[in-house]
Every structure is written in C-alpha cells, then in structure tokens.
Chains A and B, each alone.
Chain A
Amino acid sequence: DTEVTQTPKHLVMGMTNKKSLKCEQHMGHRAMYWYKQKAKKPPELMFVYSYEKLSINESVPSRFSPECPNSSLLNLHLHALQPEDSALYLCASSQEGGQYYGYTFGSGTRLTVV
C-alpha cells in the first residue's frame, strides 16, 4: 500500500459544527503532516507529527486541533470554523530517517464552511 487515504473527500459544515478530518497510511511512515491549500495558492504547512508527537505547529488557530492516535492515523478536529477556513486540507506522510523517497500526499478533503 503506497497511498495516503483522506476522508471525507468533501465536507460542508456550519460555523457552529464540530467535525473531523481523517488521514490514514500503511507505509510505515513515522512523520505525518497537515497542509491547507487555498484556491490557486501553494499548500501551507499547518502541523507536523514525528513518531506520534506534535513537533511543529505553524501558529495555527486553536479551532484546528490535530491528533495522532497511532502511527498510521492522523486526525484534524474542527470546531467553530470561519468561512475563510474553507480550503483543501491535505495530509502527507514520509519516512523518518533511512532512504528518502519524498512526501506522499493524499488527495485532500475539500472543506466548505457556511
């Protein structure tokens, strides 16, 4: 399995809702990432997990809450979002140490906040 699977593919949520994005990989990668991408813009890093520990938080608002329950799963919990948070949310994973083969990205969750 050489994929990063993200669910759901599309999500519409209200500003008072709580929802979660899920990311899964079974490549044995020990680093996992959340990126946010607005239309016609490059992806922007949000969070980095290394060996299930949060290692980088790029000053992301607390309405975004990441969680890494185990080495294969990465969640992004969403609460009280704003319409400007509408974007494509991308998950990625990579090996820690050893031969570098780059990051593997999922196809993303397209989030619309209404």
Chain B
Amino acid sequence: DAKTTQPNSMESNEEEPVHLPCNHSTISGTDYIHWYRQLPSQGPEYVIHGLTSNVNNRMASLAIAEDRKSSTLILHRATLRDAAVYYCILRDRETSGSRLTFGEGTQLTVNP
C-alpha cells in the first residue's frame, strides 16, 4: 500500500473547525483514501472514505485534492469528544477482506 504522511499532533479549540491534512504523493489510481480515528481506550472507528470527489457524512467531510496527492479531513465544529488519534489510510479497493494498514496518525487535542 502507498504511504501517507500526517503531522504528529494538532491542537484545536472547541466549537472551531479542524482541518487534518494527509499527504499521499505516491497514491495510485485505484487507491481509496480512508480515515479512521481512535479515541482513548477504544478501538479505531471508521470516519469517512473517498476516491476522487469530496465526501460528506454525519461525522466529517473529506476534501481530496484534484491531483489526489493530498487530502484533508474536516471536522466542522470540534468537540472535546473529538480528541483522538486520526489515521489517514490508503487502500487499494473499496471492498473488505484485505489489508487496512495504519500509519502513525495525528493526535488531535481539543481545548475547551
């Protein structure tokens, strides 16, 4: 799987938007961009995924650069519950039963 690069940590204030960047310059045409997050003392949680177009769901938005070499996870209004490690992962197809390989991720701190 192609590699992703994320900042080690980021800070945000409560109720403000958060933009979490991810670089994936070696992404292939069939790689989907996935985001998971892991809250303290819990297993990872699926957030969102996309291929080329921007995506929205109830948790977040995913903005994908036109050349697909980077993407940004957007939390529209951060809450204290959003403090977690956020993982950006590339995966070579949308279906399951294959590897989902986690990188180091970004530790998000949300200040009250």
Binding site for B on A (CB under 8 A): 4, 29-31, 33, 42-45, 48, 50, 55-56, 90, 92, 94-97, 100-108
Contact = CB atoms under 8 A, between A and B. Distances in A.
Contacts of B103: 42
A42 B105 contact: yes
Given A42-B103, A42-B104, A105 B96 contact: no
B46 A43 contact: no
B55 to A, nearest CB: 12
Given A45-B100, A48-B99, A100-B95, 4 more contacts: A50-B97, A92-B43, A101-B46, A107-B41
B34 interface: yes
A25 to B, nearest CB: 12
B49 interface: yes
Contacts of B41: 107
A56 B99 contact: yes
In the A-B complex, list the 3 residue pairs whose CB atoms are closest, starting with the nearest.
A102-B46, A105-B43, A94-B96
Nearest to A49: B97
B44 A105 contact: yes
B102 A42 contact: yes
A42 B46 contact: no
Contact of B34 (A43, A45, A102, A104): A102
Contacts of B46: 101-104
B104 to A, nearest CB: 6
B95 A96 contact: yes
Contacts of A33: 100
Given A92-B43, A107-B41, A100 B36 contact: no
A90 B43 contact: yes
Contacts of B102: 42-44
13 contacts: A29-B96, A45-B100, A50-B97, A56-B99, A92-B43, A95-B95, A95-B96, A97-B96, A102-B36, A102-B47, A103-B96, A105-B44, A106-B43
B100 A108 contact: no
A30 B34 CA distance: 20
Contacts of B99: 45, 48, 56
